[in-house]
């Protein structure tokens, strides 16, 4: 059965209208999807940009902190070679960490976190150095104070020892001076052949020197030999076959005569004869008495 032309035209018109409506709907849906995708992409880009900015800021902050730590290490010093050597090693580690951080992308979060841990470790090391240096400085100050005190005490001890030494030396000097054997009453007479005192040189045959060793509790006990030196008017020492030498003041002296007595601290009177001199001349004769340690005195005799 053939379709009526009018109906066919009407149907085609309705189909065309339906097709146009469907196309419009598809276009609207596609436009809506595109708009949604654009919003999503924009959101993702914004979030990514914000995250990158945050990571860049974290990297920058971390770099500032490491730079600050580097300055702290540079300013830190000590008087101890071992710590200075350790400080040099830590300074190298900080410099290396700065170089690694600068070369690392901010988006490499694992590396950034690793560097943060290294920074924390280096800070702990810095604190340990400060504690060690403070402790050593405190100890050094104490040792310095102790050394100063010890030196002061040593100086005081030396001063006291010197003072005591001086006192001992002074006392020893006084004891030594007090222990020196002394004599009194030194006198000389000339005797003739009749054993009578004379002042005639032509009649003199011997000289007799008398003296007393005075009492002295400090003087050395025991045998003491007293020497006399008799000088004639010309200054020559009178000697005979029994004359001897003795040491006095680092010199060897010639004695005219001598005698040994036992000295026990009490006063001892003694006489010393000078015999066998061929002749005596007119003038003044000088007589000196000695021991090996001291000069006991001097006297004179005038012979006419």
How many domains, the chain? Answer: 2
Q: pTM for this one? A: 0.47
SS3 for 295? strand
Domain boundary among 179, 201, 223: 179
Same domain, 213 and 109: no
- Dihedral angle sign, alpha carbons of residues 18, 23, 24, 29: positive
* Terminal-to-terminal C-alpha distance of the chain: 214
Domain termination site, one of 147, 179, 211: 179
Block mean pLDDT (10 aa), the chain, length 304: 63 66 70 70 57 75 85 81 83 86 81 85 85 82 82 81 68 55 94 96 96 90 95 95 93 96 93 95 96 94 96
- Are 164 and 197 part of one and the same domain? no
Same domain, 95 and 198: no
Decide: 113 and 103 in contact? Cβ < 8 Å. no
For 256, the domain range is 183-303
- Nearest C-alpha neighbor of 291 from the set 263, 205, 267: 263
- Based on the fold, state whether residues 188 and 94 are members of the same structural domain: no
Closest by CA to 291, choosing from 173, 236, 211, 217, is: 211
Answer yes or no: do 204 and 89 share one domain. no
What single string gives the DSSP state of each residue in 157-182?
Answer: HHHHHHHHHHHHHHHHHHHHHHHS--
Specify the pLDDT at position 175.
Answer: 47
**CA 278, CA 187: separation in Å to the nearest integer?**
22
Pair (94, 16) in one structural domain? yes
pLDDT of residue 292: 93
Three-state DSSP class for 233? coil
203: DSSP letter: T
Are 146 and 192 contained in the same domain?
no
């Amino acid at each position: 059965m053939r379709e009526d032309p009018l109906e066919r035209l009407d149907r085609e018109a309705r189909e065309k209208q339906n097709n146009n409506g469907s196309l419009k709907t598809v276009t609207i849906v596609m436009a809506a999807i595109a708009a949604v995708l654009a919003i999503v992409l924009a959101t993702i880009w914004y979030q990514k940009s914000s995250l990158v900015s945050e990571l860049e800021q974290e990297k920058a902050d971390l770099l500032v902190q490491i730079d600050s730590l580097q300055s702290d290490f540079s300013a830190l010093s000590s008087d101890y070679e071992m710590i200075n050597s350790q400080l040099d090693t830590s300074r190298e580690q900080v410099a290396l960490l700065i170089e690694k951080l600068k070369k690392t992308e901010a988006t490499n979060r694992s590396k950034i976190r690793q560097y943060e841990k290294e920074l924390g470790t280096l800070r702990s090391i810095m604190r340990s150095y400060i504690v060690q240096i403070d402790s050593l400085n405190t100890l050094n100050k104490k040792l310095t104070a102790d050394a100063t005190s010890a030196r002061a005490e040593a100086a005081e001890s030396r001063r006291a020892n010197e003072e005591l030494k001086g006192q001992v030396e002074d006392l020893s000097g006084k004891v030594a001076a007090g222990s020196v054997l002394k004599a009194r009453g030194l006198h000389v007479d000339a005797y003739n052949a009749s054993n009578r005192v004379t002042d005639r040189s032509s009649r003199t045959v011997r000289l007799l020197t008398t003296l007393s060793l005075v009492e002295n509790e400090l003087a050395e006990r025991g045998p003491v030999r007293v020497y006399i030196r008799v000088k004639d008017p010309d200054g020559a020492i009178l000697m005979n076959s029994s004359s001897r030498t003795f040491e006095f003041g680092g010199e060897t002296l010639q004695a005219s005569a001598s005698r040994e007595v036992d000295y026990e601290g009490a006063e001892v009177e003694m006489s010393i004869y000078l015999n066998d001199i061929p002749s005596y001349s007119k003038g003044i004769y000088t007589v000196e008495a000695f021991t090996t340690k001291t000069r006991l005195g001097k006297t004179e005799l005038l012979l006419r």
